[in-house]
């Protein structure tokens, strides 16, 4: 009996001695995103295909957009056709709705525009089959998030894009998180052809699987989110001088190699990305002593590096 008490006492003493170390570990600050990325390996970064990189030059700087052809291939192809015809050059940002979207396209194609001056689409298609969702493809990379979602049974990341999934229907789609680029359309589903696009600058998940998402902004979001809001109920500008002119839109593949920035995106199936997600969910430091323990799909920014100002 005495021996049993001695063993128990030693075990208790050992656990008490370990408590300070455990407490210190639990209160140790979580590594910052900068610290996590500093330890990332080259293999954890991917270089976007230059056929999928758009450079939109605005008076205030450059916006870089990566297309999502694995999710919306018809729209990606049509947008490339429009860009190569210089369709967007000289058009404008026509709408900025607070906490929603910034939209660009042909001002004459608005309800109050001069339809006789609408820019022709050239070789691009006027209508496209809706690509609001696609069949779940097990061959595409998939990094699930553990905390659930209001808008989808499952959420995660694929190729850097925030994605919702419904296993029951076998469908998946790019979610309308901050920075995603969608295809504007009229009421008819097939009218979204890529000639008018929008970037999400607020809460827009209600658009999920109702509009096609063509890509996401890799660089230059402040140039889109920081613009004056339009006075109309949907944020449309009422005066031509309020609009921001698009100087040009080009595909990286059509530029000389020396003029292409060495943009890289962190792989969302990498260990460093998993560490970033965990830091978001359970991170703590002196300012945030209590971890939230959860993270939502649109609360995670996929890191991008190697961008530079346009010359």
Phi, psi (5° rounding) for residue 14?
-65, -40
- Note if the pTM is more than 0.85: yes
Give the pLDDT of residue 94: 97
Alpha carbon of residue 273 to chain centroid? 15
- Do residues 301 and 177 touch, judged by C-beta distance below 8 A? no
pLDDT of residue 113: 72
Measured distance CA(52)–CA(57) in Å, rounded: 16
pLDDT by position in tens, the chain (length 311): 444 444 444 444 454 444 344 344 456 788 999 999 999 999 999 999 999 999 999 999 999 999 999 999 999 999 999 999 999 999 999 999 999 999 999 999 877 777 888 999 999 999 999 999 999 999 999 999 999 999 999 999 999 999 999 999 999 999 999 999 999 999 999 999 999 999 999 999 999 999 999 999 999 999 999 999 999 889 999 999 999 999 999 999 999 988 888 899 999 999 999 999 999 999 888 888 888 899 999 999 999 998 654 43
Question: DSSP secondary-structure letter at 279?
Answer: H
User: What was the pLDDT predicted at 27?
Assistant: 61
How many other CB atoms are there within 10 angstroms of residue 91's CB atom? 20
């Amino acid at each position: 009996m005495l021996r049993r008490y001695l063993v128990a006492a030693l075990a208790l003493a050992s656990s008490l001695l370990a408590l300070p170390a455990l407490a210190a570990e639990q209160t140790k600050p979580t590594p910052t995103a900068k610290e996590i990325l500093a330890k990332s390996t080259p293999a954890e970064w991917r270089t976007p295909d230059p056929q999928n990189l758009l450079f939109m030059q605005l008076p205030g700087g450059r916006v870089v957009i990566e297309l999502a052809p694995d999710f919306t291939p018809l729209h990606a192809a049509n947008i490339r056709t429009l860009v190569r015809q210089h369709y967007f050059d000289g058009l404008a940002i026509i709408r900025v709705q607070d906490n929603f979207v910034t939209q660009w396209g042909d001002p004459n194609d608005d309800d109050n525009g001069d339809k006789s001056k609408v820019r022709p689409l050239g070789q691009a298609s006027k209508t496209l089959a809706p690509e609001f969702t696609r069949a779940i493809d097990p061959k595409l990379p998939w990094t699930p998030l553990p905390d659930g979602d209001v808008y989808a049974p499952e959420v995660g990341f694929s190729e850097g894009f925030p994605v919702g999934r419904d296993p029951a229907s076998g469908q998946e789609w790019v979610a309308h998180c901050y920075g995603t680029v969608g295809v504007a359309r009229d009421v008819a589903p097939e009218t979204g052809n890529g000639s008018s696009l929008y970037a999400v600058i607020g809460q827009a998940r209600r658009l999920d699987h109702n509009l096609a998402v063509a890509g996401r902004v890799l660089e230059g979001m402040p140039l889109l989110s920081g613009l004056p809001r339009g006075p109309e109920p949907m944020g449309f500008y009422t005066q031509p001088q309020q609009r921001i002119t698009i100087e040009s839109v080009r595909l990286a593949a059509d530029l000389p190699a020396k003029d292409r920035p060495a943009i890289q995106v962190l792989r969302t199936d990498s260990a460093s990305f998993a560490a970033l997600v965990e830091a978001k969910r359970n991170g703590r430091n002196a300012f945030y002593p209590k971890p939230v323990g959860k993270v939502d799909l649109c609360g995670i920014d996929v890191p991008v590096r190697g961008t530079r100002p346009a010359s």
